[in-house]
Amino acid sequence: MDQIVESPEKKPLANTRKVFVKTYGCQMNVYDSQRMTDALSEQGYEPTDTVEDADLVLLNTCHIREKASEKVYSELGRLQKMKRKRAKAGAADLKVGVAGCVAQAEGAEIIRRAPVVDLVIGPTTYHRLPDVLARVESGQRVIETEYAVEDKFEHLPEINREKTLARGVSAFLTVQEGCDKFCTFCVVPYTRGSEVSRPLSQLIVEARRLVDAGVREITLLGQNVNAWHGEGPDGKPWGLGDLLYHLAEIDGIARLRYTTSHPRDMDMRLIEAHRDLPKLMPYLHLPVQSGSDRILKAMNRRHKAEDYIRLIDQIRDVRPDLALSGDFITGFPGETDEDFEDTIRLVERVGYASAFSFKYSARPGTPGADLPDHVPEEVKAERLERLQKLLMAQQTAFQQSLVGQTMDVLMEKPGREPGQMVGRSPWLLPVIVDANPAKIGDIISVRITKAGTNSLHADPA
């Protein structure tokens, strides 16, 4: 969930103003960048993937770890130089905006530290972007980071059919934002605010629009996606499981996924959805962070290692082909060698198909930063290396286990080599099909011939 992605939007038109959007962090930012691009297109801005062509550059930022935030300031330094060069050459002015979680957390600081920045906009206020831009164009520098009382999704433009099509057959749909869990290492409850679930009716409309545009696979997104709750058509409270059952009934949706979940919110209905819904893909990102009860407590995860293992067993009972992914942190304050061994033991017991792991990064304002016994950087790094070796071995073993298997693959795009196509396996891994047997959006059966580092090769079955 947390890999850095850069997703400049494509297809510039001549003689229009152009916006370059750079996305950092999680898939929720990818979704937000797409919606901002749609909103800006109504203001006459067309997306470009070349920063040099842009009239407006928007950095949609991530604040989760120190390194993620630092990237923003170095990018702003580069933009400052570009702006100066343009001014010298008498070229059109460049406007620069910072959006996302760094904007939310450090708005005033950004304006102070980076004179190149014209606007700062937080993740709950993207629908105000057109108004903010109008103020920028009249010469102001604008900070818009107050939590919006109105629903941003109600005010953002509708899903744009043409742009959705251009983005491909697999789409994100944010169903929930924010987090009330307050894990002691995490900035999300402060940057994204408290949990807000989008109403069911809004989600159904958006899902149908995506399907009408040709989307076949929808990934439901939320910082804490399985905390989604709403009112069902029956007037009863619904959870994510109910939502998945409901969405699975929409013709045209071939595949459903959801990310990221918290173990405490994996209820029976959601587990049953994994048993009952063939459209729900057998892949689950369920972070545990640590295998030590002491550290889990200090992290305020509010479950024990054993609870997590029991939960995984329960889900695997109903969906034996489930592949698991997780997030891990090494060197949380107070973590001893023995605590770390507990993490290793948990990983060995559970077995992951993929994982993201990080050294603990103390984030100002979070309770973890004020805890005693911070772990030296070199110890964090050593533990991370050992953990990653184990996770990588598990990932390789998982991918190798797929060789020789026949599976359904959703065709997503042409491959790099002529005659090749790239699709997606049920377990999220890209599959390069060495033939051109289908159209984009088709689901075809293939036989896996080879596993690479991050992709599989296959022949039509």
**Residues at the contact surface with ligand SF4, assessed by CB under 6 A:** 179, 181-183, 186, 188-189, 223-224, 262
Residue 386 binds which one of ligand SF4, ligand 5AD, none, with CB within 5 to 8 A depending on kind?
A: none
Cβ-based nearer residue to ligand 5AD, 37 or 289: 289
Residue 329 binds which one of ligand 5AD, ligand SF4, none, with CB within 5 to 8 A depending on kind?
A: ligand 5AD
Least distance CB 329 / ligand 5AD (angstroms): 5
Centroid of chain to Cα 33: 11
Least distance CB 65 / ligand 5AD (angstroms): 5
- Residues sharing a CB contact under 8 Å with residue 150, sequence separation 6 or more, in sequence order: 127
For residues 114 and 100, give the distance between their C-alpha atoms in angstroms, rounded to a whole number: 16
Cβ-based nearer residue to ligand SF4, 1 or 350: 1
For residues 256 and 378, give the distance between their C-alpha atoms in angstroms, rounded to a whole number: 41
Q: Which helix (H) or strand (E) is 403 found in, with range?
A: none
Least distance CB 64 / ligand SF4 (angstroms): 8
Least distance CB 332 / ligand 5AD (angstroms): 8
Cβ-based nearer residue to ligand 5AD, 288 or 411: 288
Residue 189 binds which one of ligand SF4, ligand 5AD, none, with CB within 5 to 8 A depending on kind?
A: ligand SF4
Least distance CB 2 / ligand 5AD (angstroms): 4
At what angle are helices 268-276 and 240-248 packed, to 10 degrees?
A: 20
Least distance CB 353 / ligand 5AD (angstroms): 17
Least distance CB 362 / ligand SF4 (angstroms): 15
Residue 182 binds which one of ligand 5AD, ligand SF4, none, with CB within 5 to 8 A depending on kind?
A: ligand SF4
Residue 220 in contact with residue 257, Cβ under 8 Å? yes
The length of the chain in residues reads 461
Q: Which amino acid is at 132?
A: V
Cβ-based nearer residue to ligand 5AD, 186 or 220: 186
Residue 291 binds which one of ligand SF4, ligand 5AD, none, with CB within 5 to 8 A depending on kind?
A: none
Residue tagged 């962090």 (tokens): 25
Please confirm whether the linkage preceding 336 is cis (ω < 30° from 0).
no
The closest of 418, 172, 367, 383 to 291, measured between CA atoms, is: 383
Residue 224 binds which one of ligand 5AD, ligand SF4, none, with CB within 5 to 8 A depending on kind?
A: ligand SF4
Cβ-based nearer residue to ligand SF4, 179 or 451: 179
Residue 358 binds which one of ligand SF4, ligand 5AD, none, with CB within 5 to 8 A depending on kind?
A: ligand 5AD
Least distance CB 179 / ligand SF4 (angstroms): 3
Residue 64 binds which one of ligand 5AD, ligand SF4, none, with CB within 5 to 8 A depending on kind?
A: ligand 5AD
* Residue with nearest beta carbon to ligand 5AD: 327
Residue 255 binds which one of ligand 5AD, ligand SF4, none, with CB within 5 to 8 A depending on kind?
A: none
For residues 450 and 186, give the distance between their C-alpha atoms in angstroms, rounded to a whole number: 39
Cα separation values, 105 from 26, 66, 69, 191, 281, Å: 16, 12, 10, 6, 35
Least distance CB 184 / ligand 5AD (angstroms): 9
Residue 262 binds which one of ligand 5AD, ligand SF4, none, with CB within 5 to 8 A depending on kind?
A: ligand SF4
The closest of 252, 315, 260 to 282, measured between CA atoms, is: 315
Residue tagged 């001549």 (tokens): 14
Residue tagged 């990064």 (tokens): 361
Residue 360 binds which one of ligand SF4, ligand 5AD, none, with CB within 5 to 8 A depending on kind?
A: ligand 5AD
Least distance CB 30 / ligand SF4 (angstroms): 17
Q: What are the b/e assignments for 276-289, b being 16+ CB within 10 Å?
A: ebebbbbbbbbbbb
Cβ-based nearer residue to ligand SF4, 362 or 443: 362
Cβ-based nearer residue to ligand 5AD, 55 or 307: 307
Cβ-based nearer residue to ligand SF4, 183 or 402: 183
- Which residues are at the interface with ligand 5AD (CB under 6 A)? 1-2, 64-65, 185-186, 287, 289, 327, 329, 358, 360-361, 363
For residues 45 and 39, give the distance between their C-alpha atoms in angstroms, rounded to a whole number: 9
For residues 60 and 72, give the distance between their C-alpha atoms in angstroms, rounded to a whole number: 9
Sign of the dihedral through C-alpha 381, 385, 388, 390:
negative
- Residues sharing a CB contact under 8 Å with residue 186, sequence separation 6 or more, in sequence order: 64, 179, 363, 366
Least distance CB 82 / ligand 5AD (angstroms): 31
DSSP state of 128: G
Residue 24 in contact with residue 8, Cβ under 8 Å? no
Cβ-based nearer residue to ligand 5AD, 307 or 442: 307
Structure tokens at 176: 């929930």
Cβ-based nearer residue to ligand SF4, 193 or 426: 193
For residues 335 and 299, give the distance between their C-alpha atoms in angstroms, rounded to a whole number: 11
